[in-house]
Amino acid sequence: MIELLSPAGDKERLFFAFLYGADAVYLGGRNFGLRANATNFSNEEIEECVKYAHSMNKKVYVTVNIVFHNDDLIGLEDYLKFLSKIKVDAIIVSDPVVIEIIKEKDIDLIVHLSTQASTLNSRAVKYFLEEGVTRIVLAREASRENIVRIKEETNAELECFIQGAMCTSFSGRCVLSNYCTNRDSNRGGCAQVCRWSFKTSSEERFEMMPKDLNMTKELASLIDDGVNSFKIEGRMRSIYYIATVLYIYRKILDKISTKTLDDEYINYATNIINRVANRESVSQFYNSLPGVNEQYYNGRKEESNQDFLGLVKNYNSGYITLEVRNYFKKGDTVQIFGPNMGEIEFTIDEILDSDGETIVVCNHPKDIVKIKCPYKCEENSMMRTKVFDILNKM
């Protein structure tokens, strides 16, 4: 079975990830993870989330993927024992010290090798399999040829990123952040200096920010290549981003399995994903070495959008109850999508405030309003601005 693996920066994101089709999530504790400035999870929260996931036959992987300094080793063994005790499904590691402690102390944990290890060949995979690692998250630089060869030579369980931001460098092989900001990139403090603009001796400024990774077109090939888990990047992304991306990729997987995926849907999916990510996206290294068109110059043309209009709380007697997130008004054409309901579109012709009074504009985030809706909507579906025509309307 192909696994769709989602980031979860906090409990709310975890909930929405599972709701919108993730088979597993990866998350970080308060220490030892590479997103030191995300909300992250306390030990108690991790335990709670593991129980919640297991109740739905879903999985939780915990990142223990910093590059450790001497002082960071304090508490590591206890933390690993804790993760074993609460039965997390695996941990994701890059520093072999974690593998060593697990082996020496006979801690019952499944280990996945992080993309931070930049694994690009079957020999490195064999090395880590012999060390007890059970899954390899390949380097983002892996081409199709690399992936196929690794699978053929090792039959290892492979995980590949399919969506999200890319490092300019091989993951882990960059300390620009350390030099420019004193923030340690390999301990979760990366300031993303590769996304900044640099002065040169000519008039043209130097930039090196990659476009996002997007494997919507390549998902079927990745399945043929033998990849077992499809990973989405972005533990600090919003619930709207997570829901949208998971919804799209789950749909693509379904369409692949029913042999109904076509170019029209792939183009639609790419448009939706680029819109929610606020960035263009490409397949990066999979088919060829990224060139001049796979990165940004002259600054990224980012126009922040407020497409996410609200979260549906329930549907009753022709009205949805909505928690408002961004401005909209009577007469707007909107779309709602949810994990089981598909996507619908309608024009708003009636809005009621919490007192049942008619209003024409919603512009206060978190307000609860009722909107007349001709379609039945499910709880926790999401309302967005219409930007693209919906394919496969319900």
Partner 1 sequence: MKRDKILLNVSDINDIEKYKKLGITNFLFALKDYSIGYTSFSFEEIGKIGGNIYVLINRILTDDDIDNFLKLKIPTNVRGFIIEDIGLYYELKGSKYELINFQNHLNNNYMTVNYWLKRFDSLVVSTDITEEEICDIVNSSIKPLVINILGYPMIMYSRRNLVTNYCKYYGMDIKKNLSVLEEISGNTFKLVDSPYGTAVFNSKISDYRELVNLLDFNKVKFYLINSEFMSFEEIRDAIEGKPIQNASDGFLHKKTIYRVGGES
Site for partner 1 in 193-212 (CB under 8 A): 193-194, 196, 198-202, 204, 206-208, 210
Q: What's the min distance (Å) between Cβ of 287 and partner 1?
A: 14
Q: What's the min distance (Å) between Cβ of 202 and partner 1?
A: 7
Whole-Å CA distances, 199 to 50, 192, 204, 205, 298? 48, 17, 8, 5, 12
324: which DSSP letter?
A: E
Q: Which residues lie closer than 8 Å to 289 by C-beta, 6 or more apart?
A: none
Could you give the CA distance from residue 241 to residue 238 in angstroms, rounded to a whole number? Answer: 5
Q: What's the min distance (Å) between Cβ of 331 and partner 1?
A: 43
Closest CA to 282 of 221, 222, 211, 194: 211
Sign of the CA dihedral with 272 first, then 276, 282, and 285 last:
negative
Q: Does 136 bind partner 1 (CB under 8 A)?
A: no
Closest CA to 4 of 349, 361, 339: 339
Rg (CA), the chain: 22
Q: What's the min distance (Å) between Cβ of 215 and partner 1?
A: 17
Q: Out of 10, 48, 157, 184, which residue is the one contacting partner 1 (CB under 8 A)?
A: 184
- Given the rule CB under 8 A, which of 83-91, 146-154, 328-336, 381-389 is the region that contacts partner 1? 146-154
- Given the rule CB under 8 A, which of 89-97, 217-225, 239-247, 326-334 is the region that contacts partner 1? 89-97
Q: Out of 169, 238, 271, 278, which residue is the one contacting partner 1 (CB under 8 A)?
A: 169
The interface with partner 1 within residues 321-360 (CB under 8 A) comprises: none
Pairing status of strand 212-214 against strand 281-282: parallel
Q: Does 261 bind partner 1 (CB under 8 A)?
A: no
The interface with partner 1 within residues 208-237 (CB under 8 A) comprises: 208, 210
Q: What's the min distance (Å) between Cβ of 20 and partner 1?
A: 30
Work out the angle between the directed axes of helices 76-85 and 96-104 (0-180°, nearest 10): 70
Pairing status of strand 368-372 against strand 351-352: antiparallel
Nearer to partner 1, 177 or 244 (CB): 177
Q: Out of 118, 228, 321, 381, which residue is the one contacting partner 1 (CB under 8 A)?
A: 118
Using DSSP's 3-state secondary structure scheme, residue 345 falls into strand
Could you give the CA distance from residue 292 to residue 134 in angstroms, rounded to a whole number? Answer: 36
The interface with partner 1 within residues 21-60 (CB under 8 A) comprises: 36-37
Q: Does 178 bind partner 1 (CB under 8 A)?
A: yes
**Do the beta carbons of residue 327 and residue 363 sit within 8 Å?**
yes
Q: Does 366 bind partner 1 (CB under 8 A)?
A: no
Q: Does 128 bind partner 1 (CB under 8 A)?
A: yes
Q: What's the min distance (Å) between Cβ of 366 and partner 1?
A: 26
